[in-house]
């Protein structure tokens, strides 16, 4: 029974990875404030689009998986986050086809891998 459950789990994992967009990434909030809105937009766009976060709030110290529907062609992306008061920070030029995790820091910097 354990072998069957393991095989099913492995199959589900492989299927989910097969359908993941190459730009999907984990966003980690270390800004010192809770984030209420997250925009992720192609770097060459003039529009931020809609809030991409599934949760209502991303507390400081927590993370969220940002997933893209379907296939996206763009490689370079910008991120904008807003706090409860509408104050915002922006980061530009992430190659999301090469980045799987982005840590937003207090000083307006970001770390990624």
Going residue by residue through the chain, which has 113 residues, state the pLDDT in tens, using 9 for 90 and above: 544 544 444 444 444 444 457 889 999 999 999 999 999 999 999 999 999 987 789 999 999 999 988 777 888 999 999 999 999 999 999 999 999 999 999 888 999 99
5-24 per-position pLDDT tens digit: 444 444 444 444 444 578 89
Considering only CA atoms, which of 81, 111, 80, 74 is closest in space to residue 96? 74
What is this structure's pTM? 0.78
Q: Is 102 helix (H, G, I), strand (E, B) or coil?
A: strand
- The answer to whether the beta carbons of residues 77 and 25 sit under 8 Å apart is no
């Amino acid at each position: 029974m354990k072998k069957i459950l393991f095989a099913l789990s492995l199959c589900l994992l492989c299927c989910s990875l097969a359908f993941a967009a190459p730009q999907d990434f984990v966003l980690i909030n270390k800004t010192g404030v809770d984030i209420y809105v997250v925009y992720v937009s192609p770097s060459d766009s003039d529009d931020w689009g809609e809030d991409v976060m599934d949760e209502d709030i991303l507390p400081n110290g927590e993370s969220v998986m940002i997933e893209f529907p379907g296939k996206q062609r763009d490689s370079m992306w910008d991120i904008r986050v807003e706090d409860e008061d509408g104050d915002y920070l922006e980061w530009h030029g992430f190659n999301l086809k090469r980045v799987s995790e982005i840590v937003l820091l207090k000083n307006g910097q970001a770390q990624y891998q």
